[in-house]
Structure 1
Amino acid sequence: MASRRKRHEEEHENHERWLVSYADFITLLFAFFVVMYAISSLNEGKYRVMSSAIMDAFRTGSVIAVQTTPPTGGANTMIEIPQTKPISKAIKSDHHVEETAKLGQLTQNLAKVMGPLVQSGEVTITQTSQGINIDIRDSALFAVGQAEPNQQSLPLMSNMAKLLADVDNSIKVEGFTDDAPIRTPAFPSNWELSAARAGGVVRLFQESGISPQRMVAVGHGANLPVADNATADGRARNRRVTISVQANNQDAAASEPAAATPTPNEVKP
């Protein structure tokens, strides 16, 4: 009787063994998600280093390597940025190309408007990296010893002003004289004469619609000659007004228009 009862207990089947496997599965699943969370958690220090490195690479265009060591002792991370053209420099380069093209077109238009004076040598138009320089001899604008533009020059100045009004560049008007002294009630010296001539051109431009905020008038007197005052031709070349249309480039804005002999794209007679 006892033997039958023992055999019956041994043959009894346990229907709850699946709980053990289920518990093991849940434990492994929990461990898996813990590991995934640990891997995906953001390391703030590493992120800042990487962000700074990328920004420096775009600014300078150089090759840099950033090595970071996670505080948990994991593998090092190496970030390499290949040498590329910096974005800021690319934008500046595109702007420079557009500005050069715009000023080139303006130079051609000015040459057409002032064609006869360019052919006679009374006007010289030069485009440089800093803008456009328009040198006009005083004989094309003023009577001897006077600062009021003559009637013959008014159509010229009006047509020039129409072209300059279509752009937004700053305009600098400079007056120059020869070294012959002048002493009149209106102009005690060449300083006053050169400044008054520059101011007269600026006033005509303003009356033709050019914003006064874009313009400045400067008188140099007999300083900065472009020829020898010992000859009549040299003195005639030194008595001039220079109109500078300054390029809207950041690099050019920091410097003054060149007073020396200009370079390419000079319109000659």
Structure 2
Amino acid sequence: MASHVNAAPVIIKKKKVVGGDGHHGGAWKVAYADFVTAMMAFFMLMWLLNATTEKQRKGLADYFSPTVAISRISGGGDGAFGGESIFSEEVLTQNGTGASNQRPTEAQQARGEIGEAEDSTLKQMEAVLMGRGGESMFSVEQQRHIIMRVTDEGLIVELFDLPGAELFEVDGDTPTDLLRGLSAMLVRVFALVRNDVAVEGHTRAYPVVLKDNPVWSLSAARADRMRLLMQEDGLHHDRVQRVTGHADNELASTDPTNPRNNRLEVILLRENIR
């Protein structure tokens, strides 16, 4: 009995461990997940910008624009918000009285057909130049120097050098007979419409060791010489909106010194491009 009385008391100490001091409760994981998601979205955006054409990107932008109708006809009318309801004709409403199934009109603006009409006109011009469905305006030899494409800016007619067949005298801005013939044919076809014209010059790259690199002055001089040629062939000077030299900044060939980079771009502009 005495042994029990003299025994030291047993003290049980419970240590409370507070978690989160080291890793903050995992909040960093949420922040990291948000960061990774944002980076993934950013790289997807970069990929889309690189994988789509200018026309496709414009279409995507128009799709998300609240002011662009999603139908070829306008939903405008006389009622509230410019229409009987926001669902009038199942399209977005617009100010004023536009075309509808009940109120048809031939006005291109109301039917939203300006862009389509311009596309059709430019493609017809391309067909005339290349002779689709008939005889081409250019000879077989001339066609080897021409590439055409319709873009958001207009109809781009690209004229370029080939080995042994150049548009200008070597390293100069004196036009060859080849370019004179191409200019005359372009002016004849461009006379069918009233669209304005732009001329852009491009050159191949020269060695960087040159003291005076001529790419800027040469590309601008060649573009301006093409303008003068077209005006001599009958193009009215008021139709020329701009003349630009791009030097060797926009290469057509992966080899910067390739003569294929020596080229002119004559652009038949859309009516809303200035």
Please classify the TM superposition score into its range, dividing by the shorter chain length.
0.5 to 0.7
Contact 2:79 2:85 (C-alpha < 8 Å) held by counterparts: no
Distance 1:53 1:160, change over 3 A: closer
Which runs of no fewer than 5 residues in structure 2 stay unpaired? 1-76, 100-107, 131-135
Within the candidate set 244, 257, 262, 1:239 is matched to 262
Q: Does 1:212 align with 2:231?
A: no
Contact 1:135 1:242 (C-alpha < 8 Å) held by counterparts: yes
Which runs of no fewer than 5 residues in structure 1 stay unpaired? 1-51, 65-80, 255-269
What's 1:179 paired with?
Answer: 205
Within the candidate set 255, 263, 270, 1:229 is matched to 255
What's 2:151 paired with?
Answer: 128
Return the offset for 1:162. Answer: 1.1
Return the offset for 1:182. Answer: 9.7
Return the offset for 1:56. Answer: 3.2
Return the offset for 1:197. Answer: 0.5
Q: Does 1:98 align with 2:117?
A: yes
Q: Does 1:114 align with 2:133?
A: no
Distance 1:191 1:183, change over 3 A: farther
What's 1:57 paired with?
Answer: 82
Considering only aligned residues, what root-mean-square deviation do their CA atoms show, in Å? Answer: 3.3
Larger radius of gyration: 1
Question: Which digits, 9 at most, give the CA deviation of each residue in 1:164-191, with x for residues without a partner?
Answer: 122111211111111115999xx96211
What's 1:193 paired with?
Answer: 218
Contact 1:174 1:219 (C-alpha < 8 Å) held by counterparts: yes
Distance 1:153 1:188, change over 3 A: same
Distance 1:90 1:151, change over 3 A: closer
Within the candidate set 167, 183, 194, 1:141 is matched to 167
* Distance in 2 (alpha carbons) for counterparts of 1:197 and 1:240: 9
* Distance in 2 (alpha carbons) for counterparts of 1:157 and 1:99: 23
Contact 1:181 1:190 (C-alpha < 8 Å) held by counterparts: no
Q: Partner letter of residue 170 of structure 1?
A: D
Aligned pairs for 1:13-28 within 5 A: none
Secondary structure of the corresponding residue to residue 113 of structure 1: coil
Q: Partner letter of residue 193 of structure 1?
A: L
Distance 1:220 1:179, change over 3 A: same
Q: Partner letter of residue 149 of structure 1?
A: P
**Identical aligned pairs, as a percentage?**
23
Secondary structure of the corresponding residue to residue 162 of structure 1: helix
* Distance in 2 (alpha carbons) for counterparts of 1:204 and 1:55: 56
The structure, 1 or 2, with the larger RCO (C-alpha pairs under 8 Å, 6+ apart) is 1
Return the offset for 1:142. Answer: 0.9
* Distance in 1 (alpha carbons) for counterparts of 2:82 and 2:253: 50
* Distance in 2 (alpha carbons) for counterparts of 1:62 and 1:90: 21
* Distance in 1 (alpha carbons) for counterparts of 2:81 and 2:112: 19
Instruction: Give the strand-richer structure, 1 or 2.
Output: 1
Instruction: State the TM-score, normalizing by the size of structure 1.
Output: 0.56
Return the offset for 1:119. Answer: 4.9
Contact 2:206 2:213 (C-alpha < 8 Å) held by counterparts: no
Instruction: State the TM-score, normalizing by the size of structure 2.
Output: 0.55
Secondary structure of the corresponding residue to residue 79 of structure 2: helix
